[in-house]
A and B are shown apart, each in its own frame.
Chain A
Amino acid sequence: MKFEILQQLNAERAARRPAIVVTDTATGAQRLVKAADIAADPLAAELDKQLRMGKSATVDAGGQKLFLNVYAPTAKLVIVGAVHISQALAPLARSLGYDVTVVDPRTAFASPERFPDVPLIAEWPDVALPPLNIDHYTAFVALTHDPKIDDPALLHAFARDCFYIGALGSKKTHAKRLERLKGQGASDADLGRIHAPIGLAIGAVSPSEIAVSIMAEITAALRLPASSKAAAA
């Protein structure tokens, strides 16, 4: 690997931007494809697929064996609301490989006893969220049911282009939320990105089952191509 490629790759990784190193294993010829350049690449379809799956693989490209080494950031999950569902959601997400953070300004909820082994921030969203460097590789869920906490948190998630945004609440609650957020400057496109009612419709009842439905929906957002997500909606 050319030192220049290694340096660029490390810079992309430090910035939490995905990159793929394409290597001809017969000759050693190699190039780096940054995420922003995938669409224009001759191997676009293969690169896109491997990146979505987070899998490195050798592919056959016109008789040439090319190894696509995928470097993608670790996905984060930010949970706003240290509620009952969050107690089931946090360990489930960790077992799936996510970096999990729970945010809730209410110290009675955000107690280490209720959330062992999970970073917990007992601050309001305007204080807690900016240092988390929320980005496109972050799934974001707002679960407090309290507009004072959920609304500013959701506005932050829109601005940071999270790959998944979900909010707890019935259709009626959600309709009111959309009105409030619109009043605070959210665009229709932003509002359309919220998954609410949150989670896949699997008839979940208990907090643990709801956590499963949320993680299933997040997994689909992470792994499915845009076309099949549109079809499923």
Chain B
Amino acid sequence: MQLDRDEDILRAAEAWRKAGRGVALATVVETWGSAPRPAGSSLVINDEGTFLGSVSGGCVEGAVVTEALDVIDSGTPKLLEFGVADEAAWKVGLSCGGTIRVFVEKVD
């Protein structure tokens, strides 16, 4: 049983797809170190670049959105890895370093 207060992004994904939009879903599948968002956190994006949700609290969302648009075009899922060393962590907003793996897939 999960105690989850996330906005309901999967409903948005369904509505966008029904409206004929291209949609991708990005989900945190593994974390190491002090990752800002736990496994299962997700982000949904449509082919207009509108997105909802979060996989890292802001640090890697830009890159994920770019990759997701690619996945919407190609239809091929991708497994992305983002790692930040402790020293560089502050600069990108990961407060004390961490690595996350994000699975990006098309909704089709």
A170 CB → nearest B CB, Å: 31
- With an 8 A cutoff between CB atoms, is A166 at the interface? no
The 8 A CB mask of A86-117 against B (1 = contact, 0 = none) is 00000000001110000000000000000000
Question: Which residues from chain A contact B59 at a C-beta distance below 8 Å?
Answer: none
Stretch at the interface among B11-19, B48-56, B62-70, B91-99: B11-19
- With an 8 A cutoff between CB atoms, is A207 at the interface? no
Contact B1 A18 (CB under 8 A): yes
Question: Which residues from chain B contact A26 at a C-beta distance below 8 Å?
Answer: 79
Question: Which residues from chain A contact B103 at a C-beta distance below 8 Å?
Answer: 23, 25, 67
Contact B10 A70 (CB under 8 A): no
- With an 8 A cutoff between CB atoms, is A169 at the interface? no
Question: Which residues from chain B contact A208 at a C-beta distance below 8 Å?
Answer: none
A54 CB → nearest B CB, Å: 4
Known: A6-B10, A25-B29. A73 touches B108 (CB 8 A): no
Point out the residue from A7, A23, A222 that lies within 8 Å of B1, measured CB to CB. Answer: A222
Complex CA distance for A24 and B55, rounded to whole angstroms: 19
Complex CA distance for A56 and B77, rounded to whole angstroms: 19
Known: A26-B79, A28-B77, A67-B103. A75 touches B27 (CB 8 A): no
Known: A2-B108, A7-B14. A69 touches B27 (CB 8 A): yes
Complex CA distance for A67 and B2, rounded to whole angstroms: 16
Complex CA distance for A26 and B40, rounded to whole angstroms: 17
Question: Which residues from chain A contact B108 at a C-beta distance below 8 Å?
Answer: 2-3
Complex CA distance for A71 and B1, rounded to whole angstroms: 8
- With an 8 A cutoff between CB atoms, is A9 at the interface? yes
- With an 8 A cutoff between CB atoms, is B60 at the interface? no
A32 CB → nearest B CB, Å: 12
- Cβ < 8 Å to A, chain B residues 1-33: 1-5, 8, 10-11, 13-14, 17, 25, 27, 29-30
Contact A3 B5 (CB under 8 A): no
Chain B, Cβ-Cβ closest to A13: B10
- Cβ < 8 Å to B, chain A residues 158-210: 163
- B interface, how many residues as a size bin? 20 to 34
Contact A56 B39 (CB under 8 A): yes
- With an 8 A cutoff between CB atoms, is A39 at the interface? no
Known: A3-B17, A25-B103, A57-B39. A72 touches B29 (CB 8 A): no
Complex CA distance for A203 and B64, rounded to whole angstroms: 51
- With an 8 A cutoff between CB atoms, is A52 at the interface? yes
Question: Which residues from chain A contact B8 at a C-beta distance below 8 Å?
Answer: 13
- Looking at A1, A18, A54, the one whose CB has the most chain B CB atoms below 10 A away is A1
Complex CA distance for A18 and B103, rounded to whole angstroms: 22
Complex A-B, nearest 3 residue pairs according to Cβ-Cβ distance, in ascending order: A56-B40, A97-B3, A54-B2
- Supply 16 A–B pairs (Cβ within 8 Å), ascending by A: A1-B107, A9-B10, A10-B10, A10-B14, A13-B8, A13-B10, A25-B77, A28-B76, A30-B105, A54-B4, A57-B39, A67-B27, A67-B30, A67-B103, A70-B40, A137-B1
